[in-house]
Chain A
């Protein structure tokens, strides 16, 4: 479910970063620092554990395919929602930086889909209420499976929405959802079962871990969420209103091509969902487009040749730097 940078537009990526940053800020403010001090090793090692566990593939029965656990619900069950949010944030950051597993700019979106949803939404709304009357094997199993399924479904849906909003894929919403949701349902069921098995095992051997996590009450936050949301709303208006002033009125390549083929500069879709996304695109496109070529027949070939020249130049510069450095090293060592 880790999204790459290339699947997001700057507007969507920035928005998700703001949302995830707010979630991290809220999680940090809700954690009692004196209580969490003794929990830090547990948080770090469970984070590493989730990281390692994600590398263990298991076969999904009946599908012939394999998957791996996400770990959000498992972490939340063992640490509590807010500590799990921070732990998963550290894990996702390591994956983005060192493994190219999820882009750095897409980190905000990945944090939302993989950490915020299970830890801050599903955990308090589904997992905790089921265990309200006490922890036992049956309730733990039901809570784990149900929470994992819902978290994975919502996370996968988040990927669909973010990719569609970014305008990167031509895949229709229905087709994209039909591809993503069922496979993540299968993964969610398996993750739920694995989470249930692990949590039951942990509860048998170290019950205080789960008891402690579910009883942890947060502190009164040092800032008010309402103020943060108001600030976010004002910032969004300023960005949208201010930067849209610089939007180009010239037709882009696609509009220009459509103009020449269909006689209109835009194709109008009857589907309301396309109109909705088109409006979003219109509001969030804040960098101007290009002056199109006046010769459509030559554009492609000239573009390819130009690109090859660019690549050759870049490669040549790289080789030149390498040669010069080698000579320098030889002359200093001689």
Chain B
């Protein structure tokens, strides 16, 4: 019996020593010390080694867009790493075209800062900032879409272009033990600088949407960063065809508000798809925009209206409705926002109607 206890004691002691050695090794061998990240050949940042490039840049208030929280599953956080990143990782390969691999594009979330790095990022990202906000409004637009209004606390104003998006930080809660970020288009007018409005659709088990729909309250503090994105109104006099569904309403609404503010005379048709009456929202606001804009028409369409909807408007999938309404669109340009499935189907219809691909602008955030 004594021998058994001694043996157990010896094994425990060995385990303890090994654990201490491992901890020491982790703290010393894996300690990369301070590293210098040179951005665009000018800006030199001193960061603590060992973290991802994405996290290190965020620490220095440089925000690279990312929709998956750094898991390498969205492919958004692409930066050019000219030196110091080491070989491409298997987790990056699916996201990078041969041309991107050749030009040293990497996923910032997968590159670990272990030595000095030289990177290149778009200049526009230097204007991205982090904002502390307070929830000043929560409105159920439909059974699964919430409008969230965030009043800016610090800094007190944001400058963005209608159509752009921000990233919202979800703090640790039941579904996540670390902060995560999700991208949402701003739906409010760009001229309103002291607040941003978002339209967020509930996604089953979604970290951010569950947080917003089930936990967020008026008065809560929320951190956001932005603005990001190239989705915006192009300067031209061409007819506009806008198509959206669900929370894809957000950036289109922001663009329309900007057009109303600047009294933009362009012809614009906005096709909005939903299943039934209960999935439609902001109808009054769209009618007001029809009054405010000289040549704007809002065309909601229901794919499966309920009997009690007594719907007299357009029926069918949004692609079918667009196909019915649009004849020759070769001179038009199109603005789309919705799920990747919807965007792909709409692009196909618009191409058939004669719009060249380079005049179809879209935001594929679901």
**Does B bind A?**
no
Q: Residues of A with Cβ closer than 8 Å to B?
A: none
